[in-house]
Structure 1
Amino acid sequence: MAFALKAAASTAGSASLAAAGPRRGAAPAAGRVSFRGAPAAAPVVAVRAAAAAAVAQDRRSISGTFAELREQGKTALVPFITAGDPDLATTAKALKILDACGSDVIELGVPYSDPLADGPVIQASATRALAKGTTFEDVISMVKEVIPELSCPVSLFTYYNPILKRGIPNFMTIVKEAGLRGLVVPDVPLEETDILRSEAAKNNLELVLLTTPTTPNERMEKIAQASEGFIYLVYLVLLDKAPDLKTKVSTVGVTGTRANVSGKVQSLLQDIKKVTEKPVAVGFGVSTAEHVKQIAGWGADGVIVGSAMVRLLGESASPEEGLKKLEELAKTLKAALE
């Protein structure tokens, strides 16, 4: 995530469905909606639209989800998957599986041709999705159908160019109408987020900002103050496979799975929590139950798992196999946080 990290550091530049059973935060049944005042011959489409609107309104915000989990003394599981890899039909099934397995917030990545913030696994995933012809409009169309069936909020992870291409106000309206609750735009520095935050707020969307190990304290405070939903702590954990200390690398820059979690994550969390009461989620490099358990023990409000899930979906022998493995991983990670 070279560009995003550079921007954050610089002061100038800136988861079977039935087996899962009911879970906290399940989406309200459409039957709760009262149509007492509607004409007897009201078109079916109007009834469905009203029901969908009621469900969307009842679905909690990202910040509300974190607040409830904090009251319960729990840490949020935030999985990330790429839309369209291996195909959008599989993505739709994956969203439902992740939700049923207890995900608290889901990040959905829009495939982009130049994903600077992503490591090789997610870059390859985006390339495959684009090769299949996946477009932003296709992603939004799929999301509109799936989100009413989910109980957890979904946040969109997208680069800035697709936003500019459609115009910021129009983009935010599209995202809101799709039922999405948040937005992560990794390649926009703090100084250039004013209009994004303003338009997001008008559409009840929470714009999540990122901070890194190299972000100066003063700048980190500003990011924490401006970020909504939660604060995204970008930290790629220390590679610990080589016995020679000289070959160990602190990989701050792009996403990807790592061997062990560096203890520095704990001190970074403490530094952020000194300046804000907003929830902090650690991402980029988290891939195992041991990772999430350790990070949760250090005080993180959320743990974001991306590359490990993306690899299962995109690199399995078949979509069915990928979904099965995704479900197994999501259940394992959720259990580690209970």
Structure 2
Amino acid sequence: MNRIDQIFAKHAQNGTKALMPYLTMGDPDIQTSARLIHAAQEAGASICELGFPFSDPVADGPTIQASMTWALEHGIKAKDILQMVAENRSQLDVGLVAMVSYSIVHKIGDGSFIKDAIDAGIDGFIIPDLAYEESAKVRELILENGGILSFLIAPTTPDARAMEIAKASTGFIYLLARAGITGEQSDLPPDLAPRVEKLREISELPITVGFGVSTDNHVRQVVSVADAAIVGSAIVRRISEARERGSDAVVQATGAFMSDLARGLTRAPEGCEASQ
């Protein structure tokens, strides 16, 4: 059983929920990225999304775009990320999911990238610019090598298409809390709960929610209806704000924030329309 499947099965057995932080690899540098993954684990995260920097990300807002630009300008390569994962995998229990553009996968070679990533210790993939209709080859390669592939479902996705995407996904379903690009928001949409419930009617996969999840109370709201909360821009912003103070400051500030987010896994949501 894939590590992602094991993690969600354990949460289901224990009646608990998962925190999934997103981290841009190479921001501020790959050594600090490794430390941040360890900090996420210590904070209570179950799975980390590892963002592979790309010059033209399709779903990321200005915070993550700026983070990717920093990493690219400082020379980060996919091979550096996989080497770091391989060096740290034995010390980590968290699941590792690559958030990666298909342009990167295709440039390296579908089979080569997927095999190298899974051999290094990557458990799964989110490829936001790969439509599920065109994913058969990549999906087969990932499954053959023991990985999982999750697709995004947006609020604007028609029901029939959402059903097909859910069927094509393995490991978990990634439900966007809102349409558009990533970024921090003050509130989550009130229709989140019914959208989660509709997906539960068509799939037994765990449902994760991201895009706009920014605070511990957002985490509380999300996990009151879904299986995991994904937080990206709010974490990346804290990395960029601490960057000039050095690696220790980045890890300390970001680790503390992730610990705050993890507290939302166990407390009742405050003012949560999504839980009604």
Shift of 1:315: 2.5
Shift of 1:83: 0.3
Matching residue within 283, 294, 297 for 2:221: 294
Shift of 1:253: 1.2
Runs of 4 or more above 3 Å deviation: none
Partner of 1:91: 33
Q: CA RMSD in A?
A: 1.2
Distance 1:167 1:130 in 2: 20
Shift of 1:139: 1.1
Shift of 1:235: 2.1
Matching residue within 214, 217, 236 for 2:159: 217
The secondary structure found in structure 1 opposite 2:208 is: strand
TM-score, structure 1 as length reference: 0.76
Larger radius of gyration: 1
Q: Does 1:315 align with 2:202?
A: no
Distance 2:235 2:145 in 1: 30
Matching residue within 243, 255, 270 for 2:197: 270
Matching residue within 245, 251, 264 for 1:336: 264
- Flag structure 1 segments of 5+ consecutive residues without an equivalent: 1-56, 237-251
What is the aligned residue count?
A: 264
Matching residue within 94, 101, 104 for 1:162: 104
Partner of 2:229: 303
Shift of 1:98: 0.6
Once the two structures are superposed, what CA deviation does each residue of 1:169-215 show, in whole Å capped at 9, x if it has no partner?
Answer: 11111111111100000011110111111000111010111111111
Q: Does 1:325 align with 2:267?
A: no
Once the two structures are superposed, what CA deviation does each residue of 1:240-277 show, in whole Å capped at 9, x if it has no partner?
Answer: xxxxxxxxxxxx11111100111111111111111111
The secondary structure found in structure 2 opposite 1:108 is: strand
Distance 1:85 1:280 in 2: 28
- Flag structure 2 segments of 5+ consecutive residues without an equivalent: 267-276
The secondary structure found in structure 2 opposite 1:85 is: coil
- 1:107-256 mapped onto 2 (5 Å cutoff): 107-236=49-178, 252-256=179-183
Distance 1:63 1:121 in 2: 30
Shift of 1:323: 1.1
TM-score, structure 2 as length reference: 0.93
Task: Output the amino acid matched with 1:285.
Answer: G
